[in-house]
Chains A and B, each alone.
Chain A
Amino acid sequence: MEKYRVIEIKQSIFADNDRQADLLREKLKEKGVFLLNLMSSPGAGKTTTLSRTIEMLKSEMQIGVMEADIDSDVDAATIENYGARVIQLHTGGMCHLDAGMTGQGIEEFGVDGLDLLVLENVGNLVCPAEFDTGAVKNAMILSVPEGHDKPLKYPLMFQVCDVVLVNKIDVLPYFDFDMEKCVEYVHMRNPEAKVIPICAKTGEGMDAWADWLRGQVEEWKK
């Protein structure tokens, strides 16, 4: 008769990734590089917001961008025009980046001398929230057309984010988007999260966002 053996492990499937993420953060702290993980659903305005942010901050800090996509390099080409160093990461079909992939990207990119490194995660409100990338802070963009109820539908995403940018506020008059409710729902998921309404296209609210980011980079470099 065939025999079998039981290997008791009791290990979280996130344990490995969490360990790698912590190591990556330590390494970035030594180098003085602030890594921001930027998430959103497809089309919420990650690339436009990022372009505008680079324009506002590039005179005061060195900025690098890692563009993660399943395929293509259209975002990388756009960002490069705004004066940041860019690398395109292809996830090869995966719906998110984990700490291992982020670490590989950083290795390949070479981040010495950078002050701010932005990881533009795959457009998706579910998977990217589950894996710690090794970023110092998580940011997400929720755009007005998506609706104010998203924090209720994608709880984990809002739970892990330090800052939520509510983008495309220029179209508020045309949508049934309730900003007050949105803030309330975000805080149900994460009472600590900062909510900043912005319009990357017109620049409205972008100063508050740039201030937050500047403060975070300075804090990390101390």
Chain B
Amino acid sequence: MHELGLCDAMLKMMDQILENDGSAACRVRRVVLEIGELSGVVPHFMEESWKAVTDRTHYADALLEISTVPGYADCLDCGAHLRPAQSGFKCPECGGGKLKPVSGIDMTVRSIEVWDEE
């Protein structure tokens, strides 16, 4: 359940962003999160952790919208560019297993939507 620690880091980051934006007091409507396919983060566990971490905070009613970003890697043996999740974590060209992930390793908050309460 490393997702719990990640959720905590995500909340800290968003708190800072909301504060800088002058929206610290606003209720949050929706958070759009992108999870890289090679990040080792399981979207379902992220949703579960989100519920636990946001309970009784201004994120409590917010919808967490998760999309998965495809991950690509370079084969260090033959230089092929591949998508490990689709080729059994082996290079489909040469069968090598030394893969260097180049994208889809991160977890990025795309946007936060806040209610304007005036």
Contacts and interface: CB of A to CB of B under 8 A. Distances in A.
Interface string A3-27: 1111111111111110000000000
B6 interface: yes
A7 B106 contact: no
Interface in B9-55: 9-10, 12-13, 16-18, 21, 23, 29-30, 40
A215 B57 CA distance: 49
For chain A, the bracket of interface size reads: 20 to 34
A194 interface: no
Nearest to A188: B97
Overall SS of chain A's interface: mixed
Nearest to B30: A4
B108 A12 contact: yes
Nearest to A124: B2
A52 interface: no
A16 to B, nearest CB: 6
Interface in A158-180: 159
Interface stretch (A65-73, A79-87, A91-99, A104-112): A91-99
Given A16-B12, A17-B9, A130 B2 contact: yes
Interface of A: 2-17, 94-96, 98, 126-127, 130-131, 155-156, 159, 187-188, 191
22 contacts: A3-B115, A4-B29, A4-B115, A5-B113, A5-B114, A6-B111, A7-B114, A9-B17, A9-B110, A10-B109, A10-B111, A13-B13, A13-B109, A16-B12, A16-B16, A94-B5, A94-B8, A98-B9, A130-B2, A130-B40, A156-B40, A159-B101
